[in-house]
Structure 1
């Protein structure tokens, strides 16, 4: 006979990803099955994490890219539509990976965009002054929100942050037009997904 404790442990297992979380998916040969498994994992991660409210789940979600590698996450989720849970998770982890790879450069671009996007800056919730450590803390707080707050809020905060950075890139002489557009598109995709989530939940 199964005890309630055993049932709880089974229920929480998919929501606490660790090393090799995606190994079973990537070992498959049928792209359709891999895609289906990736979508199912995204649903478990987002919906399951919100239901658990567990600090350990939030921490494992935050460090999923560190444990699995951003390349692994890209292989699983990068091709997903922007208005899907899989696509949103890919964009959120990509954003965090970029911030951690060049926090000083991100801080410079974010600060340059503050005047052009003051409302987005407030929504993003970055401490003033927006130094490298403050930006890393902000992006970690946003991703931790997958387990601790409404997923629409997570998406809208990330979108606001990307919009300020896009404005900063446009104001600086170094970034190319393509780099500005990429960040602007990312912001628009996350914002649109946030509104879909508010209306009827992403799938």
Structure 2
């Protein structure tokens, strides 16, 4: 990872091409390091990267990366895990609303039925662990399925609030659309990883 002193020495806004290069280099280094180590503490530190380094630090590295890229996929996975960690009641509600309409996605996501709150935390950690120690394509597919379920649940939640809170319902509908787009991006990244073409 770029040393903070080196980052501070960069004049003004970094060149977009340099930022992209740094995003790809750091993402590849993290994944490669985790996949070649036999130390489970390394993987554990990577799973908890946001808690240790802060979401802003991770965002500074990867948030601007192309969605269907290794750094873009990692950014989305960390944001998804952080959402589960910070707002479990909302995620749980959306999951429960969405899972009845998306039973196939539930099987892909790998959450027990009926889910308990702890199951969603376990899924978020397992997906990141899978990125670093398992089949990365499967981890991305599981995250994509999870996002599809949450998207469906958000849409149902928006419908139920349409009369009482039209502004909130519109915001939730946009959120559902964003989650669906994220699911598609993660799934596409998984497809590219399988063919060895995920940059």
Return closer, same or farther for 1:157/1:134 CA change in 2, 3 Å cut-off. same
**Equivalent residue number for residue 137 of structure 2:** 152
Matched, 1:49 2:34: yes
**Equivalent residue number for residue 7 of structure 2:** 26
Return closer, same or farther for 1:168/1:52 CA change in 2, 3 Å cut-off. same
Question: What are the within-5 Å matches in structure 2 for residues 50-199 of structure 1?
Answer: 50-172=35-157, 173-174=160-161, 175=169, 176-199=172-195
Return closer, same or farther for 1:184/1:192 CA change in 2, 3 Å cut-off. same
Stretch deviating more after TM superposition (170-179 or 40-49): 170-179
The DSSP-based 3-state class of the residue aligned with 1:127 is coil
> Normalised by the size of structure 2, how large is the TM-score?
0.85
Unaligned 5+ runs, structure 2: 162-168
Q: Show CA shifts across 1:50-86 (max 9, x none).
A: 2224311210110111111111111211110112111
Stretch deviating more after TM superposition (28-37 or 167-176): 28-37
RMSD: 1.8
Cα offset, 1:88, TM superposition = 0.7
Q: Show CA shifts across 1:109-128 (max 9, x none).
A: 00111121111101111123
Which whole-Å CA distance do the structure 2 matches of 1:170 and 1:147 have between them? 32
Q: Count residues with an aligned counterpart.
A: 184
Q: Do the aligned partners of 1:53 and 1:147 also contact (CA within 8 Å) in 2?
A: no
**Equivalent residue number for residue 7 of structure 1:** none
Return closer, same or farther for 1:148/1:179 CA change in 2, 3 Å cut-off. same
Unaligned 5+ runs, structure 1: 1-13, 15-20
Return closer, same or farther for 1:171/1:198 CA change in 2, 3 Å cut-off. same
The DSSP-based 3-state class of the residue aligned with 1:200 is coil
**Equivalent residue number for residue 165 of structure 2:** none
Cα offset, 1:34, TM superposition = 3.6
